[in-house]
Structure 1
C-alpha cells in the first residue's frame, strides 16, 4: 500500500464517510498537536506575550466559537468540509485565534480586551447564523433531564477529590472541564443514541458495556499526565510552559464537551 493509499484510508475516508477515528490518525494528530503547541508557545515568548490568567480568559470565547461552529456544521447550517469538521475545525479556529491575537497585540495597547471582544463577536456571529436557520434544528430539551443531574454528580465528585488529592486540587479546572466532556459523552451515548468516534473510548465502552467508563478514562489520563508534568517541571520557565500545555489540555476537554452539548440540544 502506497503513501497516497494510506493517507486516503486512514485520514481522508474517516472524514469523508464520518466513520470516526482510527489508531493511525489518532496518533498522528496527537503528535502534530504536541509539535504545534510547542511552536505556538515559542512564538508567544518571542513576541513578549505573557501567558497568564487574563490571557486564558480571553481564549474562552474562541474555544466556544470553535465548538459552536462545529455543532452548526452537524446541523448543516455550515457546509460539511474538511475544514469544518475535526481535525480541520481545530486548524481553522487556531488560525483565526492566532491571527486575531497578532493583530490586536500589534495595534492596541489594551489588546487583551480587544482580543476578548473579538472572540465574543465570533460567537455572536454563530448565534445569528443559528437564529436565521432555526428550520434546520430541532431543539431537544430532554437532554437536560439527563445532563444536569449527571453533571452535578460528576463535578461534585471532583469537588470532593480536591479535598483529598493534591494533584486534583492544584488542577481542578482541568478535571472539571474533562468531567464536563465525559458527561456529555455519557449522556449522548447512554440516553440519546449517539456513538463514540475515538478509538480508545470506543474500545473501553464495548469492553465495559457503558459510556460511564469515560469518567475513569478521563481521571486516569489526567492524573498520569499531570504527575509526569509535575515531575518534569524544574524552573519557572518550565512552569510557564506547563501552564500553557494545561491550557491545551483544557481545550481538549471543554471544546468537545461544548460541541457535544450544543449538538444534542439542537437535535442533530
Structure 2
C-alpha cells in the first residue's frame, strides 16, 4: 500500500464517510496537537503572555466557537468540508484564535478585553446563522431530561472526590470539564442512539455495554497525566508549561462536550 493509499484510507475516507477515528489518525493527530501546543507555548512565552484567569476567560468564546460551528455543520447549516468537521475544524478555530490573539496583543493596550469581545462577536455570528436557519433543526429539549440529572450527579462526584484526592482538588476544573464531556457522551450513546467516534472509548463501550465507562476512562487518564506532570515539574518555567498543558486539557474536555450537547439539543 502506497503513501497515497494510506493517507486516503486512514485520513480522507474517515472524514468523507463519517467513519470516526482509527488508531493511525488518532496517533497522528495526537502528535500534531502536541507539537502545535509546544509551538504556541513558546510563542506566547516570547510575547510575555501570562496564563492568568483573564486570559483563560478570554479563550472561552473561542472554545464555544469551534463547538458551535461543529454542531452547525452536523445540522447542515454550515457546509460539510474538511475544515468544518473534526479534526479540520480544530485547525480552523486554532488559526482564527491564534491570529486574533497576535493581532489584539500587538495593536491594543487592553488586548485581553478586545480579544474576548471579538470571540463573543464570532459566537454571536453563529447564533444569527442558527436563527436564520431554524427550518433545518428540530430542537430536542428532552435531552435535558437525561443531561441535567446525570451532569449534576457527575459534578457532585467530582466535588466529593476533591475532598479526598489532592490532585482532583487542585485541578477540579479539569475534572468538571471532562466529566461534563463524559456525561454528554453517556446520554447521547446510552439514551439517544448516538455513536462514539474515538477508538479507545468505542472499544471500551463495546466491552462494557455502556458509555458510562467514559467516567472511569476520563478519571483514570486525568489522574495519571496529572501525576506524571507533577513528577516531571522541577522548575518555575516547567510549571508554566504544565499550566499551559492543563489549559489544553481543559479545552479537550469542554469543547467536545459543548459540541455534543448542542448537537443533541438541535436534534442532529
TM-score scaled by structure 1?
0.99
Q: Which aligned pairs between 1:43-192 and structure 2 lie closer than 5 A? A: 43-192=43-192
Task: State the alpha-carbon separation in 2 of the partners of residues 92 and 29 from structure 1.
Answer: 14
Task: State the alpha-carbon separation in 2 of the partners of residues 36 and 228 from structure 1.
Answer: 21
Shift of 1:48: 1.7
Q: Give the equivalent residue in structure 2 for 1:195.
A: 195
Greater Cα offset, 118-127 or 42-51: 42-51
Task: State the alpha-carbon separation in 2 of the partners of residues 88 and 150 from structure 1.
Answer: 31
RMSD: 0.5
Task: State the alpha-carbon separation in 2 of the partners of residues 4 and 42 from structure 1.
Answer: 33
State how many pairs are aligned: 268
Residue aligned with 2:164, SS: coil
Residue aligned with 1:138, SS: coil
Matched, 1:240 2:227: no
Return 5+ residue gaps in structure 2 as ranges. none
Any runs of at least 4 consecutive aligned residues in structure 1 with deviations exceeding 2 A, and if so which?
A: none
Q: Give the equivalent residue in structure 1 for 2:222.
A: 222
Shift of 1:51: 2.0
Shift of 1:76: 0.3
Q: Give the equivalent residue in structure 1 for 2:209.
A: 209
Q: Give the equivalent residue in structure 1 for 2:25.
A: 25
Task: State the alpha-carbon separation in 1 of the partners of residues 247 and 51 from structure 2.
Answer: 10
Task: State the alpha-carbon separation in 1 of the partners of residues 84 and 102 from structure 2.
Answer: 23
Task: State the alpha-carbon separation in 2 of the partners of residues 258 and 129 from structure 1.
Answer: 18
Shift of 1:173: 0.2
Return 5+ residue gaps in structure 1 as ranges. none
